[in-house]
Amino acid sequence: MNLLRIGCIIIFIIGSIGITTNVQKKLIQLNGKEVKVAITQKPYKTGFGKRKTSDFKFDYQGKTYTKRVEYKYRDTLINQPYIILKTNDDNSVFIYRKEEIDSELTASALLMIISLICFFKAKKTRGQ
């Protein structure tokens, strides 16, 4: 098996992990419960614009969780003691109420499709 086909398989696996993760988030977005969580560690305020990211910590039902700060929620996270998130039944994944998931889901699907096309093109080229 040549390196191109191995690379295509790796990219396909990465895409399938992305699909699995984002489908779970989409289900939470559609059917998850809204929870009010206490922010225990606020993100730092930076002057680097939209690209600079940080994490914040929050408590929910006696456990502490960490979540990446999305730029549009940064001011809320800095200025408020609580934020409303959505979660699944076992509280293992938390998302923002209006978190953008569709574009990530589409990107993962495209990655898988492109890797399949590349895989079969490599197989066809090698067979000739």
> What pLDDT, in 10s, does the model give residues 4-46?
889 999 999 999 999 999 999 999 999 999 999 999 988 775 5
Distance between CA 71 and CA 48 in Å, rounded?
A: 11
pLDDT, greater one: 77 or 13: 13
Q: How many helical (H) and strand (E) elements, i.e. helices and strands, does the chain have?
A: 3, 5
Interatomic CA distance for residues 16 and 119, integer angstroms: 15
**Checking DSSP bridges between strand 55-60 and strand 63-68, what pairing results, if any?**
antiparallel
Average pLDDT, the chain: 86
pTM of the model: 0.74
Judge contact between 25 and 95, C-beta under 8 A. yes
Domain boundaries, given as residue ranges, for the chain? 1-31+100-128, 33-87
Report the alpha-carbon distance of residue 16 to residue 3 in Å, rounded: 20
Cβ atoms 59, 67 nearer than 8 A: no
